[in-house]
C-alpha cells in the first residue's frame, strides 16, 4: 500500500474504534473525510479534515473532536507528531522511515506504481476520434484523439476494464458525397477531363488512387449509368480506404482502438428500429412539429414540417428532437441514440469525447441515454475545445481546398508523436489552446515537454556516468543518508498515485502533465544544488555510499516520470539530442 492509502485506512479504522469506544455515534458517513498533503508544507506532511466534517453530525465541536482523533493518530507507528490548527485541521508529521519505505515501494512496484483498483473492474467504454471517414485526419481531430486515448489509459491503470471505441459515420449524406467524389476520380482515371472538382464534392487528391483502383478493376462499366447502380459500391470502397488512412494516421500517434462500430451496419442490423421501438413503448416518441429556431439570421426557407420526435425535453433537454426526417430516414441523432443504447448494453460507464462544436447536442444524447437506461448508466460527454495552430506567432490558415489544410500526419512528422501528445495534454480539455510549432519543440525550460523529458534524460545519464566515477559494484542504498531535500522529493513522488486517482475520477488526463512538470521542476532544483556544491551532486566523488543512495532516489523519480508519461502515451527519453 502507498503511504496515503495506509494512513487513510488507519484513520478509517481509528474512527471505527472511536465508535466502539462511544466517542463517536455509529453510522457516520466518512465519504467527505480526506487525507491529503496540506498546501503549505510547514503545516506538516498530511492533514485530515475529519474533525471538521464529522463534528456536526456527531453533535460536537471540531476542536474537541480533533483532540480525540489526534490522540489516537499519535499511536500510529508511522506518525511522528500530530497537532491541531485553525478551525480543526489535524496536521500530521510522518516519521522519515515512512517516506523511505515509499521510495522502496516505488522502485519495487516500478511500472505498477500508481496503479489502483478504484475502478473495481467496471467496464467503461471510451468513444473518441470518430472522425467522419471522408478524408485524412486533420489537426481538428488531434486533441480529442489524444485526450481520449490518455483517459482510456488512465482508467485502465485505475482498474477499469476499458474499451476504446471508434464510431464510423458511414451512413449519412457525407459518405454519399464521398462515393460520388470517388466516381469523379474514377472517370478521371479512365481518361476523362473532369476539370475542377465541383463545389460540394470532396476535392482531395487522396481520392485519386481509389478512383484509379476502381477503374483498373471495373473498366468503364460504371460510366454513364445511374448512380443507383454504382453508388453503394463506390461509397463502401471509399469508406474502407478512408478508414485505412485514418487508422494509419492514428497509428502515427500510437492510438489503436479496440472496436470500430459502423453506423451503417448498426442500421442494417435493426438495432435502430429496436431502440426507437423501446422509446415508443415508453411513450417517448410522437409525431409533431418543432418551433422555428431563433437563430440570428432567420431562415427564410423554414417551414413547419411534422416529424417523428423524441421527448428529450422530459430529460433535461431544451426541446424535443427529431429521430426521423420527413423522408422517413433516421436522423443522425436517431442512429446515435441507438448506438449509445448498444454501448450501454456492453458497459457500465460510457464516455464520449467530442469536439466543442458539438456542444449543442450533448443534452439530447444525455437525455436519450437517461431514457434508454432508466438513468442507470453513468455517461459523461467530454468536450474538447479547439486548437489554434500558430507558426511564428501567426495563425496557420486552414482552407478546405486540397493540400492546404494541416493534416495530423504532417504535424506528427514535423514535431514528433511525443511532442504532439504531451502538448495536447498541457491544457485542460475545456479550455482553448494554441499550438505553436516553434514553441512546442523549443529546447528550454519554458517548454514542459522538453523540461520533463530532460529530467528523465538527466537521470538516465547518471547510469552512464557513474561507471566512470565508480567502476565497481555499488553498495545497497542507505536511505538514512537522505537530507530534507531528498525526503521532500519522495513526498512529491508519493503524490503520484493520488494524482492518478484524481485524474481518472475527474476524467482529466491533463493533470498528469502538470504533475510531471512540477516533479521535473523539483528534480531540476535538487540537481542544481550540485552546481555550487559538489558534495550535493548525485555522483559524489569519494563517497560511494551517498552516490548509491542518491542514485536510488533518482531511479525512483525516473520511474514515476516514466509511469506518468506512459499514461500520456509519451516515450521517456534516455538522452536529449
Cβ closest to RNA, residue 161 vs residue 543: 543
431 sits near RNA (criterion: CB under 7 A): yes
Residue 481 CA to chain centroid, in angstroms?
39
362 sits near RNA (criterion: CB under 7 A): yes
- Cα–Cα dist 81/95, whole Å: 8
Cβ closest to RNA, residue 188 vs residue 320: 320
Number of H helices, E strands in the chain: 20, 15
- Cα–Cα dist 198/263, whole Å: 27
Position among 21, 251, 259, 359 found at the interface with RNA (CB under 7 A): 359
Position among 219, 305, 438, 542 found at the interface with RNA (CB under 7 A): 305
Position among 28, 38, 78, 190 found at the interface with RNA (CB under 7 A): 38
For the CA atoms of 146, 148, 154, 160, the dihedral, rounded to the nearest 10 degrees, stands at -150
Of 435-474, binders to RNA (CB under 7 A) are 443-446, 454, 457-458
Where do the H-state alpha helices sit in 347-394?
A: 362-372
Position among 11, 52, 162, 489 found at the interface with RNA (CB under 7 A): 52
Q: Which of the ranges 229-237, 244-252, 400-408, 534-542 carries the binding residues for RNA, by CB under 7 A?
A: 534-542
- How many residues make contact with RNA (CB under 7 A)? 98
Smallest distance from RNA to CB 418, Å: 15
41 sits near RNA (criterion: CB under 7 A): no
Could you tell me which residues are beta bridge partners of residue 94? 79
Query: Which residues have a Cβ under 8 Å from the Cβ of 124 and sit 6 or more positions away?
Result: 155, 160, 161, 162, 163, 347, 348, 349, 350, 351
- Cα–Cα dist 67/359, whole Å: 50
Position among 296, 392, 394, 473 found at the interface with RNA (CB under 7 A): 296
Count CB neighbours of 141 within 10 A: 24
505 sits near RNA (criterion: CB under 7 A): yes
267 sits near RNA (criterion: CB under 7 A): no
Of 95-134, binders to RNA (CB under 7 A) are 132
Of 202-241, binders to RNA (CB under 7 A) are none
Q: Which of the ranges 12-20, 63-71, 206-214, 528-536 carries the binding residues for RNA, by CB under 7 A?
A: 528-536
- Cα–Cα dist 248/251, whole Å: 5
Q: With residue 463 as reference, give the H or E element that holds it.
A: helix 448-469
Q: What is the grid cell recorded at 358?
A: 458539438
Cβ closest to RNA, residue 30 vs residue 507: 507
Closest CA to 50 of 94, 13, 89: 89
8 sits near RNA (criterion: CB under 7 A): no
Residue 282's φ and ψ, nearest 5 degrees, are -85, 0
Smallest distance from RNA to CB 279, Å: 17
Q: Which of the ranges 2-10, 95-103, 194-202, 503-511 carries the binding residues for RNA, by CB under 7 A?
A: 503-511
Of 401-430, binders to RNA (CB under 7 A) are 427-428, 430
Q: How far is CA 348 from CA 120, 259, 260, 345, 500, in A?
A: 11, 17, 19, 8, 21
Of 140-159, binders to RNA (CB under 7 A) are none
326 sits near RNA (criterion: CB under 7 A): yes
Cβ closest to RNA, residue 254 vs residue 416: 416
Cβ closest to RNA, residue 431 vs residue 484: 431
Amino acid at each position: 500500500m502507498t503511504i496515503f492509502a495506509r494512513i487513510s485506512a488507519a484513520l478509517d479504522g481509528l474512527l471505527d474504534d472511536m465508535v466502539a469506544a462511544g466517542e463517536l455515534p455509529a453510522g457516520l458517513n466518512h465519504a467527505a473525510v480526506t487525507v491529503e498533503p496540506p498546501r503549505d508544507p510547514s503545516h506538516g506532511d498530511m492533514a485530515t479534515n475529519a474533525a471538521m466534517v464529522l463534528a456536526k453530525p456527531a453533535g460536537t465541536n471540531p476542536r474537541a473532536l480533533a483532540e480525540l482523533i489526534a490522540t489516537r493518530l499519535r499511536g500510529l507507528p508511522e506518525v511522528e507528531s500530530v497537532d491541531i490548527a485553525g478551525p480543526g485541521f489535524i496536521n500530521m508529521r510522518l516519521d522519515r522511515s515512512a517516506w523511505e519505505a515509499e521510495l522502496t515501494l516505488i522502485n519495487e512496484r516500478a511500472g505498477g506504481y500508481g496503479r489502483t483498483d478504484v475502478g473495481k473492474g467496471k467496464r467503461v467504454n471510451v468513444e473518441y476520434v470518430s472522425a467522419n471517414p471522408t478524408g485524412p485526419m486533420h489537426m481538428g481531430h488531434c486533441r480529442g484523439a489524444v485526450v481520449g486515448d490518455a483517459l482510456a489509459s488512465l482508467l485502465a491503470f485505475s482498474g477499469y476494464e476499458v474499451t476504446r471505441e471508434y464510431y464510423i459515420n458511414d451512413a449519412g449524406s457525407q459518405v454519399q458525397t464521398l462515393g460520388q467524389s470517388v466516381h469523379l476520380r474514377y472517370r478521371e482515371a479512365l481518361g476523362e477531363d473532369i476539370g475542377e472538382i465541383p463545389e460540394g464534392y470532396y476535392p482531395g487528391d487522396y481520392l485519386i488512387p481509389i478512383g484509379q483502383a476502381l477503374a483498373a478493376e471495373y473498366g468503364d462499366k460504371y460510366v454513364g449509368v445511374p448512380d443507383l447502380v454504382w453508388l453503394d459500391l463506390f461509397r463502401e470502397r471509399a469508406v474502407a480506404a478512408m478508414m485505412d488512412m485514418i487508422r494509419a494516421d492514428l497509428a502515427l500517434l500510437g492510438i489503436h482502438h479496440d472496436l470500430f462500430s459502423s453506423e451503417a451496419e448498426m442500421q442494417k442490423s435493426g438495432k435502430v428500429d429496436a431502440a426507437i421501438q423501446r422509446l415508443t413503448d415508453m411513450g417517448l416518441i410522437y409525431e409533431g412539429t418543432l418551433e422555428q429556431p431563433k437563430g440570428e439570421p432567420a431562415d427564410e426557407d423554414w417551414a413547419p414540417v411534422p416529424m417523428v420526435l423524441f421527448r428529450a425535453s422530459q430529460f433535461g433537454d431544451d426541446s424535443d428532437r427529431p429521430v426521423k426526417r420527413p423522408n422517413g430516414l433516421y436522423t443522425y441523432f436517431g442512429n446515435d441514440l441507438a448506438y449509445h443504447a448498444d454501448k450501454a448494453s456492453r458497459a457500465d460507464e460510457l464516455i464520449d469525447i467530442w469536439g466543442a462544436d458539438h456542444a449543442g447536442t450533448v443534452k439530447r444524447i444525455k437525455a436519450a441515454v437517461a431514457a434508454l437506461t432508466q438513468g442507470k448508466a453513468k455517461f459523461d460527454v467530454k468536450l474538447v475545445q479547439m486548437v489554434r495552430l500558430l507558426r511564428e506567432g501567426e495563425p496557420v490558415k486552414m482552407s478546405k481546398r486540397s493540400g492546404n489544410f494541416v493534416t495530423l500526419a504532417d504535424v506528427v512528422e514535423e514535431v514528433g508523436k511525443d511532442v504532439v501528445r504531451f502538448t495536447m495534454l498541457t491544457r485542460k480539455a475545456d479550455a482553448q489552446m494554441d499550438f505553436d510549432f516553434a514553441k512546442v519543440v523549443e529546447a528550454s525550460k519554458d517548454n514542459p515537454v522538453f523540461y520533463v523529458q530532460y529530467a528523465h534524460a538527466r537521470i538516465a545519464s547518471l547510469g552512464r556516468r557513474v561507471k566512470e566515477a565508480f567502476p565497481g559494484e555499488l553498495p545497497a542504498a542507505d536511505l538514512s543518508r537522505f537530507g530534507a531535500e531528498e525526503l521532500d522529493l519522495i513526498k512529491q513522488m508519493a503524490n503520484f498515485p493520488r494524482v492518478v486517482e484524481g485524474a481518472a475520477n475527474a476524467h482529466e488526463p491533463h493533470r498528469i502533465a502538470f504533475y510531471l512538470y512540477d516533479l521535473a521542476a523539483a528534480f531540476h532544483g535538487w540537481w542544481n544544488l550540485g552546481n555550487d556544491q559538489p558534495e550535493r551532486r548525485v555522483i559524489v566523488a569519494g563517497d560511494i555510499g551517498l552516490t548509491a543512495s542518491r542514485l536510488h532516489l533518482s531511479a525512483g523519480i525516473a520511474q514515476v516520470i516514466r509511469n506518468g508519461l506512459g499514461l500520456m502515451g509519451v516515450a521517456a527519453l534516455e538522452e536529449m539530442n
